[in-house]
Amino acid sequence: MRGLNKEGRLQCITDFVNDNKLDFVGFQETKKESFNGSFLNYINKDFVWHFLPANGTAGGILVGVDERKFEVIAWRIGKYSVAGIIRNCQDSFVWRIVVVYGSPYEEGKLDFLAELESLLVNWDGPTVLGGDFNITITAKEKSNGQINQKWADSFQDLINKWGLVELKNSTRSYTWTNNQDKPILAALDKIFCTINFE
């Protein structure tokens, strides 16, 4: 989001949630330390919300699910993630949503990957895992082809270990830009799901 306080941003996400009739949603880089009820109700009054506060003007995660369709059994807040264990109201199917905002800094990436590992090792049910990972996996995911191979390999190892399947956006090759005159583009935002539910 790069800041929910920017003018017009609240209306934009409200329209997006409602126009697309979303059942659950996750926003990263909210840059907000707290949310009041009227702000959240404006986005969608039928959602139950949970958030990870921003650290000053950096980061922040907001997650919402439609309480007419889901019961939230538990929330877990990490340093880089918000996870919710969800039960479908219609069929009582239990699953988990995890929204992440990975460290954009070198010194935080090991802790971020360790947090992902801890989330995956402590849950064997179906999971939808998405957000801004701030890691590229292959050179094709960055317009200049220059990636940090150490973190790419570590992230790929985690994906392989837990059998995560990426749900690719067929309409966009990149999700981030540095907004320079000669921009660098990268695919940092991803959605994964688990396929082994046993």
CATH number, domain with residue 126:
3.60.10.10
- pLDDT of 196 reads 57
Q: Is residue 1 part of a domain?
A: no
Classify residue 3: in a domain, yes or no. Answer: no
Kindly state whether residue 16 falls inside one of the protein's structural domains. yes
The answer, yes or no, to whether residue 134 has pLDDT greater than 90, is yes
**Is position 64 within any domain?**
yes
Residue 62, domain member (yes or no): yes
Could you report the per-residue pLDDT of 19-67, keeping only the tens digit for each? 999 999 999 999 999 999 999 999 999 999 999 999 877 889 999 999 9
Q: What is the pLDDT of residue 198?
A: 47
Q: Residue 49 sits in which domain range?
A: 9-194
Backbone angles phi, psi at 111, to 5 degrees: -65, -40
Q: Is residue 43 part of a domain?
A: yes
pLDDT in tens, 78-122: 999 999 999 999 999 999 999 999 999 999 999 999 999 999 998
Please report whether residue 4 resides in a domain: no
Mean pLDDT of the chain: 92
Longest dimension (CA), the chain: 51
Mean pLDDT of 12-19: 93
Burial letters for 99-132: b for 16+ Cβ neighbours within 10 Å, e otherwise? bbbbbbeeeebeebbebbeebbeebeeebbbbbb
- Tell me what pLDDT residue 77 has: 97
pLDDT tens per residue across span 152-177: 999 999 999 999 999 988 888 888 88
What confidence score (pLDDT) does residue 58 get? Answer: 81
> Do the domain assignments include residue 124?
yes
With a cut of 60, say whether residue 197 has pLDDT above it.
no
Domain count for the chain, please give it.
Answer: 1
Compute the distance between CA of residue 103 and CA of residue 11 in angstroms, rounded to an integer: 28
